[in-house]
Amino acid sequence: MPLLLSTHRFFASVAALVVGLGISSAAARAEESNPYAAAVLADRPISFHRCDETEGKYAQDATGNEHRGALKNVNGGEPSAHPALGTCFAFNGKSSRVQIPAHSDYKVGKGDFSVEFWFNCHDPMNSRGEILKFKGEGKDFGILKPLGNSNFIAVARPDRPFQAQTDPFSIRVWHHAVYVRRGGVDHWYLDGSLTGTSTGNSLVMDMNADILIGADHHGDPNRVARDNCWNGLIDELAIYASALTPEQVEAHYKAAQAK
Ligand SMILES: [Ca+2]
């Protein structure tokens, strides 16, 4: 029988294989047979953190590009939204983060790029939480739930903060979100469907400082801004140097639900 029989236990064992060893060929084959991982990897992300680790110091990069992230006060092992997604990372809203080292692979200039992830927010609606933060040399880009009575995920740009945003989401419920910049237009997808756009994004995205998942910072990625950290769960975070199409977004969303 194919590995689609997989249970959370199976994915945890794959994660255990990966921890500390890099992506072994056996693990790579497992990723190819996992419907969600296969769908994401087929669209060639720069990095893809499956967040399946339950121990160790790093979140491995399933692309093989070796953009592993350092785990800081993150707990693993909790089941994700669907069995095909394995387990996820839990963030405490104060100090948890995954820190991905700066790399030239992330320099996309004014070009297209995408950020895809699954999230489950545990915070009351009036607090802020950062899913992803890049800030350095005058550049500032964030994906977050803004402060205030805001139950949506937005993109923060220095020129037009919180302009592009998703439809409202529910607290303590899993959602799939994809941010896409195509031709200078921001797009937000929630649970497979386009929910919002905003024009005029010409921000130079040469991400030449560490990227944080689950936390914000004020200029030094080694020192988090505690009030802005994510409280809840994040899983399957992929960054692309391309604009995912609506069809690709929908296909990923459906692949996660494959039995
Ligand atoms: Ca996962």
Task: Measure 203 CA to ligand 1 centroid, in angstroms.
Answer: 30
Residue ranges of the chain with per-residue pLDDT less than 70: 1-30, 158-163
Each residue of 192-219: b (16+ CB within 10 Å) or e? Answer: bebbbebeebebebbbebbbbbbbbbee
Q: List 240's β-bridge partners, or say none.
A: 114
Each residue of 107-145: b (16+ CB within 10 Å) or e? Answer: ebeeebbbbbbbbbbebeeebbbbbbbbbbeebbbbbbb
Nearest CA among 12, 119, 23, 114 for reference residue 67: 23
Q: Provide the pLDDT for residue 172.
A: 94
Task: Measure 232 CA to ligand 1 centroid, in angstroms.
Answer: 14
Task: Measure 234 CA to ligand 1 centroid, in angstroms.
Answer: 9
Q: Provide the pLDDT for residue 154.
A: 86
Q: Does domain 3-255 have CATH number 3.10.129.10?
A: no
Mark residue 26 as left, alpha or beta (left: phi above 0; alpha: psi -120 to 50; beta: remaining): alpha
Q: Provide the pLDDT for residue 6.
A: 39
Task: Measure 78 CA to ligand 1 centroid, in angstroms.
Answer: 9
- Overall residue count recorded for the chain in this entry: 259
Indicate the SS3 state at residue 259: coil
Say how far apart CA 51 and CA 81 lie, in whole Å. 12
Q: Provide the pLDDT for residue 8.
A: 43
Task: Measure 14 CA to ligand 1 centroid, in angstroms.
Answer: 11
List pLDDT tens digits, range 113-159: 999 999 999 987 778 899 999 988 777 889 999 887 778 888 887 66
Residue pair 50/37 in contact (Cβ under 8 Å)? The answer is: yes
Nearest CA among 132, 249, 231 for reference residue 187: 249
Task: Measure 87 CA to ligand 1 centroid, in angstroms.
Answer: 4
Nearest CA among 185, 140, 147, 193 for reference residue 166: 193
Task: Measure 103 CA to ligand 1 centroid, in angstroms.
Answer: 23
Task: Measure 246 CA to ligand 1 centroid, in angstroms.
Answer: 22
Could you list which residues have their CB under 5 Å from ion ligand 1?
50-52, 80, 85-86, 235
Task: Measure 86 CA to ligand 1 centroid, in angstroms.
Answer: 4
> Cα Rg for the chain, rounded, in angstroms?
17
Task: Measure 201 CA to ligand 1 centroid, in angstroms.
Answer: 30
Structural domain boundaries of the chain?
3-255
Which alpha helices (DSSP H) does 75-209 contain, by range?
A: none
